Chains A and B, each alone.
Chain A
Amino acid sequence: MHIMEGFLPPFWAAFWYLLCIPFWIWGAMQAKKVFREHPEQKLVMAVSGAFIFVLSSLKLPSVTGSSSHPTGTGLSAMLFGFAITSVLATIVLVFQALLLAHGGITTLGADVFSMGVVGPIVGYYMFKLMRKGGIALPLTAFMAAVLADWATYLVTSLQLALAFPGGNLVQAFEVFAGVFAITQVPIAIGEGILIWMFFDFLLKSRPKLVKQLLGEADAGKTAGG
């Protein structure tokens, strides 16, 4: 999902930056609030960010014969919401743009918007929806992680199609989704399994904190393992 430096026309580079700004501001404000009011959540937030660090550095083989990397944003999106996740993802993407020549500064807005904003939004709302549907917590974590990962790559495909429609936007989307969408399916599922494992563990080690973060503190008595 990293769009290489200089591979988005200036208009689109600026466009995606602009869309990211509210999420950066909102995320920074939320993170500050967590630090001030719930310092006990800091470590879990750092660990959620650590998953983004690790997973986005792993280029994994896929059934299509190409490699791609997971995003790791699902856990943070569930626990801390998509605004804070956008800030965490930005830290990772800046590191990769400056030190690894992976992605770029001109394409940072687009990359943050796909990996840090839309992916986490999809993960977050799917998670909420599944909880409303009564699906058990560790399983919703799996689904949220898979969908956040996959949605990120669909957004990248859309971003590239918008910038390079070549006369037909739908066809262009098919071209770019052809590169990303299938390759990402097994990778997203693998990521989902890892996040499921960690969430299952976290639910046992910090049941109260997890419920508090999920805004389900009152349901704590009924929702067991």
Chain B
Amino acid sequence: MKDRYKYALAIVLMVAIFAIPFIISPNAKFGGADVAGSAAIQEQQPDYQRWALPLWQPPPETESMLFALQAALGAGLIGYFIGHEKARMEHMRKKED
């Protein structure tokens, strides 16, 4: 199979994996498992006293910005690398011809 079809299929599969949850449980809240973990701690040991708080808590808008920034930095570098490699392969192919 050609790479481009193989990759397209992989992307469709990925999208499906993350779309299915909304179809099978449309009313779910999709809360974070990390938060649920902390809730489970309090159920396991209701008298547990949290002994440290985050040094800084970003406002919600800043938080989503920083999450986007984190993803953008990573994706930017990955995109740069893929472009770099494609151009390099193209260059080498031309040199061989």
Contact = CB atoms under 8 A, between A and B. Distances in A.
A47 B81 contact: yes
B52 A104 contact: yes
**Chain B binding site: helix, strand, loop or mixed by DSSP?**
helix
B11 to A, nearest CB: 8
Contacts, number: 179
Interface string B40-71: 11011100101111111110000100111011
Interface in B18-58: 18, 20-22, 24-25, 28-38, 40-41, 43-45, 48, 50-58
Interface stretch (A20-28, A31-39, A59-67, A124-132): A59-67
Given A4-B38, A6-B51, A101-B58, A66 B75 contact: no
A139 interface: no
A98 B28 contact: no
B33 A68 contact: yes
A46 B18 CA distance: 27
Interface stretch (A76-84, A185-193, A211-219): A185-193
Interface in A165-191: 165-166, 172, 175-176, 178-180, 183-184, 186, 189-190
A206 interface: yes
Interface string A61-98: 11111111000000000000000000000001001111
26 contacts: A2-B34, A3-B38, A7-B38, A43-B84, A46-B77, A47-B77, A53-B74, A54-B75, A54-B78, A57-B74, A61-B18, A62-B21, A68-B34, A96-B70, A99-B66, A101-B56, A160-B40, A164-B44, A165-B44, A186-B17, A197-B11, A201-B3, A201-B82, A202-B85, A205-B86, A206-B85
Given A57-B67, A57-B71, 18 more contacts: A3-B37, A52-B74, A53-B73, A54-B70, A54-B74, A61-B22, A101-B54, A101-B56, A102-B34, A106-B51, A166-B45, A172-B44, A175-B43, A175-B44, A186-B17, A193-B13, A201-B82, A204-B3
